[in-house]
Structure 1
Amino acid sequence: MKKLITFLERLEEKKIYYKLNKVRDAIMVEIAIPGERWEVEFFADGNVEVEKFISNAEILGEEELEQLFLDCD
């Protein structure tokens, strides 16, 4: 729990926006910064997992929205 609190305090010091969520048996911190989205999971056993999603900076049109639903079939 201390790791999570310390991490959240650091985000707040830098004024980095985050959301908290419960996923599986962990607390997930979802972070959005320009061009990136991070998912940081803090588990009860002290383990921390980090996943980063980095934009390729390609801007797509509205027609791309339909692809979202096609990809989820």
Structure 2
Amino acid sequence: MAETGTSLAELSAFLVGLQEHRIHYQLASVREGAVMVQVAVPGERWEVEFFPDRGPDVEIFRSNGDILGSEQLTRLVADFGE
């Protein structure tokens, strides 16, 4: 089990690394007690969640390079809306 101070230090070091490399990020909270760092770089999107009691979860979403048109907007809303 990671200590809270270690988790916070790991989050801080990751954010400093992103800043030093001029990589834009956003912070969010999706799960209770966790801090999510959302990063968008060309061709990829990263979600990195830091927890107070364990190491981070890292998800990487890669683009296949296809660029679609406005006809996809209706489908996106229909597929993922309530």
Q: Same fold (TM over 0.5)?
A: yes
Q: How many residues align?
A: 73
- Give me the CA root mean square deviation: 0.9
Q: Which of 39, 54, 58 does residue 31 from structure 1 map onto? A: 39
Q: Could you say which residue in structure 1 is the equivalent of 2:23?
A: 16
Q: Any unmatched runs of 5+ in structure 1?
A: none
Q: Whose strand fraction is larger, Structure 1's or Structure 2's?
A: 1
Q: Could you say which residue in structure 2 is the equivalent of 1:6?
A: 13
How far residue 46 of structure 1 moved from its aligned partner, in angstroms, is 3.1
Structure 1 segments of 4 or more deviating over 3 A?
A: none
Q: Whose helix fraction is larger, Structure 1's or Structure 2's?
A: 2
How far residue 22 of structure 1 moved from its aligned partner, in angstroms, is 1.1
Q: State the TM-score, normalized to the length of structure 1.
A: 0.94
Q: State the TM-score, normalized to the length of structure 2.
A: 0.84
Q: Could you say which residue in structure 2 is the equivalent of 1:57?
A: 65
